[in-house]
Amino acid sequence: MRVPSIDKPALALLIVGALFLAARAWLHDHPQHDPWAPLDLRHPPGWATQKKIAGLRGNPAECRAVLERSAVEFSVLDPAGEGECLREDRTVMTGLPLVPDRPPVTCAVGAALELWLVREVQPAAEELLGSPVERIEHFGAYSCRRLYGRGTGRWSEHATGNALDVGAFVLADGRRISVLGDWGGEDEQDDEAAFLHRVRDGACGIFGTVLSPDYNEAHRDHLHLDQASRGWGGFCR
């Protein structure tokens, strides 16, 4: 009995089609890895998350749609300022535990803060310190100035509220972990230092720029987090 020959091109097409359908089904079940799926901050981080977060920079309308889709609490203030310090995007993250206040920031910063807290800060606090973070102390978001307060040169991301400086974390058990007092140098010598290094590293995949005491003396007491457009990779130190 003669066995019919196999049409190799047709077989290859069938295999490719089956793989394509399998990949589509897998991405449907794992939207955090799907670059075309709408961003939802409640999804676990995936291959496409950083690119999607970066895509919110300079697009407040899309960013606010993401916050609404993700059931994140926020409010929007009218534009303020002028010139280099014009803040057209003033978004207040009303559900974040920021103290002494919840400052207006760009929506892209706000979305990144929400993701950072839920996906990086709280898990690190529970694992390394045994208590969740209850409050995040900050030094402010808006400051109409150039970099380092110089009279010339580039304007700071703080000039438009596109940055936040985080100084400390207060845990539910009352402990206070400060960047100034607990960073611990290049080596993570204790749990508090390990926590701070972990949350810095976690921020690097979410924000456009992350600066810490490892960067320079000017950042010895805080983590600078901003959403400047620096491509998908950003700058982290």
**187-229: pLDDT as tens digits:** 567 999 999 999 999 999 999 999 999 999 999 999 999 999 8
- How many CA atoms are closer than 13 Å to the CA of 1, on its beta-carbon side? 2
Determine phi and psi for 92, rounding to 5 degrees. Answer: -105, 120
**Residue 210 β-bridge partners:** 225, 236
Q: What is the pLDDT of residue 229?
A: 81
Q: What is the pLDDT of residue 30?
A: 55
30-83 pLDDT per residue, tens: 566 798 899 999 998 888 988 899 899 989 999 999 999 999 999 999 999 999
Q: How far, in Å, CA of 71 to CA of 65, rounded?
A: 10
Span 19-34, mean pLDDT? 55
Q: How far, in Å, CA of 144 to CA of 86, rounded?
A: 9
Q: How far, in Å, CA of 205 to CA of 207, rounded?
A: 6
Q: 2 falls in which pLDDT band (50, 70, 90)?
A: low
